[in-house]
Structure 1
Amino acid sequence: MGSGMSDDEPARNISGGESGGGAASAFAANDESDAPLVERVVDRLGDRYWQKTYGGQDAFECLVRTVLSQNTSDKASQPAHDALMARYGPASREDFELERASDERRDPRAGEGDLAVALADAHRPDLAETISSAGLYNRKSETIIRLAERVRDEYGSADGFDAFVTDEDPDTVRDSLLDMKGVGPKTADCVLLFAGGRDGVFPVDTHVHRIARRMGFAPPDADHEAVREAIESELPDEKCGFGHTATIQFGRDFCKSRTPACLDDPEACPMADLCAQVGVYPDTGEVVDPDDAAD
């Protein structure tokens, strides 16, 4: 199975192209007929989307980015992230235009220093204004400052936190992240995957939660953690990172919450023959949560 994209791959998707992050890395498909359902699904997604491995993002910036993305879209959270980095991030970062780094609104305490230290000292109303495009900006600004204070106090700096996430035992890192107020399982797993580059980590967002139960590789009543455990126990470690991003993209392209592609045309979904369609009723046009369908 190649590492390129198929002819019908979307021009932009979260698991492919330069903007998707990570590094191209092909994995071998499991051709056994009794392969776990989730592996068969991910293998097929590997024919449609870019196969990638992840890791290398700055851990604290990844944590901040994930907080900004909570309960909002990428379209809304990305400008907030960019504005935050322009105002509080190290001025030497190559990711931002020079005019942003010299913006008169830039926090003078950021300088060439550390993002966690700068945000720990941030004036909350100023930070809230900076990230306002992400929504829930008052709550998110409080969370970011609280996390920055903890990272500064426990790890000394964003660099110290990055070393902890990258080098320590993954279970230890996950437990430490979950001990931070405002960090849930998905956020912790995103930091482990996108910053730590850890194999075997499959973050569960709303798309993954819905698709895993709808397709039948997790119980209909499984919560987010139960879905994660079901997937990670069946899927080879090296396929988890790609599986996460590709499943999200599949949810956006085909397996939508209210209007899955199979509702009108079973052939429209590339996973039709693998899917249990739990909670999807093409005959009536009804779509319900898989847990409700199990009642």
Structure 2
Amino acid sequence: MDDEPAENISGGESGGGDFARFDPSGSGTRAEAVVDRLGEMYWQKSYGGRDGFECLVRTILSQNTSDVASQPAHDALMDRYGGGGDLAGTLAGAVQPELAETISSAGLYNQKSERIIAIADLVLDEYGSTEAFDRFVREESPKTVRKTLLDMNGVGPKTADCVLLFAGGRGGVFPVDTHVHRIARRMGLARADTDHEGVREALESAVPAAKCGFGHTAMIQFGREYCSARKPACLEDPEACPLADRCEQVGVYPETGAVIDPAEAPRSSR
């Protein structure tokens, strides 16, 4: 897999969203205190406003790959298919091998191109146009939008939640990718043996709705810089991690240099 870029694609000054300021004092839960610290380290943002269907396509392209690989695929797709005014209509009529070639940098391009064409067909059948689908994502209840997205072939919880967050602008949505899943369990913010959905439920119940969006993007950034899967910063220097005082180090053993999945850690250390 290609190396990830230094900065999360949805963070920083040019990563979308609107900068917002949230008071970090008086955090009600440990998870909120962690998110507040991440916001001070990186950014505090409110998300929303992206076109729903394009966001869905963009997130499908990002599945099982990095921003370095998926962003050029998205740009190439939009250059080739995005100028007609109705993206779903254009992609529904795309020739699959040509679309696959266009998005080849994203990996799994045959599978992803087939999914994108099928979903574009479905969007046209159910909503009539890209604009109508975008409006559905923005205006319908989050529960209904999430269920609709999850019923689409190839759309999992993380993809659905990213569309709700970045396109729908829905507060209280905390998408869980591999970074968030690892960090939340390693820090003890969720059960060590819980799955992605369990982590999402734990974080969404413990973090105020307005903070979930930047909590997601900043936690990904923290995972890239400090809390990587194999070599977390605390492994060699306990003081190297800015969140050391908030972390239970589940599955991380600086005294031996061992790092294991939190689910495999002895229960006495959880």
TM-score normalised by L of structure 1: 0.87
Distance 1:178 1:288, change over 3 A: same
Distance 1:255 1:71, change over 3 A: same
Partners of 2:7 and 2:147 in 1: CA distance: 34
Q: Structure 1 residue 49 and structure 2 residue 42: aligned?
A: yes
1:28 Cα deviation from its structure 2 partner? 1.5
Query: Which of 136, 152, 157 is the equivalent residue of 1:164?
Result: 136
Secondary structure (helix, strand or coil) at the match of 1:145 reads: helix
Matched-pair contact (CA < 8 Å) for 1:120–1:146: yes
State the partner residue of 1:286: 258
Partners of 2:113 and 2:219 in 1: CA distance: 30
Matched-pair contact (CA < 8 Å) for 2:11–2:217: no
Query: Which of 71, 79, 103 is the equivalent residue of 1:86?
Result: 79
Query: Which of 123, 127, 138 is the equivalent residue of 1:155?
Result: 127
1:12 Cα deviation from its structure 2 partner? 4.5
Partners of 2:254 and 2:173 in 1: CA distance: 34
Partners of 2:210 and 2:223 in 1: CA distance: 21
State the partner residue of 1:141: 113
Partners of 2:85 and 2:199 in 1: CA distance: 40
State the partner residue of 1:7: none
Larger radius of gyration, structure 1 or 2?
A: 1
1:63 Cα deviation from its structure 2 partner? 0.3
Q: Structure 1 residue 21 and structure 2 residue 13: aligned?
A: no
Matched-pair contact (CA < 8 Å) for 1:30–1:39: no
Matched-pair contact (CA < 8 Å) for 1:279–1:293: yes
Q: Structure 1 residue 69 and structure 2 residue 62: aligned?
A: yes
State the partner residue of 1:37: 30
Matched-pair contact (CA < 8 Å) for 1:15–1:249: no
Partners of 1:46 and 1:12 in 2: CA distance: 14
For 1:27, the aligned partner's letter is F
Relative CO higher for 1 or 2, CA cutoff 8 Å, sep ≥ 6? 2
Q: Structure 1 residue 123 and structure 2 residue 95: aligned?
A: yes
Matches within 5 A, 1:172-183: 172-183=144-155
Distance 1:67 1:201, change over 3 A: same
User: What's the Cα RMSD here?
Assistant: 1.4
For 1:41, the aligned partner's letter is V
Gaps of 5+ in 1: 1-9, 91-111
Partners of 2:113 and 2:14 in 1: CA distance: 26
Deviation per residue, 1:104-160 (Å, 9 max, x gap): xxxxxxxx3300010011100000000001000000001101111111110111111
State the partner residue of 1:247: 219
Partners of 2:237 and 2:215 in 1: CA distance: 25
Matched-pair contact (CA < 8 Å) for 2:161–2:173: yes
For 1:17, the aligned partner's letter is G
State the partner residue of 2:190: 218
Gaps of 5+ in 2: none
Matched-pair contact (CA < 8 Å) for 1:220–1:294: no
State the partner residue of 2:161: 189
Say how many residue pairs are matched: 263
Matched-pair contact (CA < 8 Å) for 1:69–1:77: yes
Partners of 2:141 and 2:266 in 1: CA distance: 38
4+ long deviations beyond 6 Å: none
Deviation per residue, 1:9-64 (Å, 9 max, x gap): x98444543321100101111425xx311101001111111110000001000000
Partners of 2:29 and 2:196 in 1: CA distance: 19
Secondary structure (helix, strand or coil) at the match of 2:126 reads: helix
Q: Structure 1 residue 229 and structure 2 residue 229: aligned?
A: no
State the partner residue of 1:98: none
Secondary structure (helix, strand or coil) at the match of 2:54 reads: helix
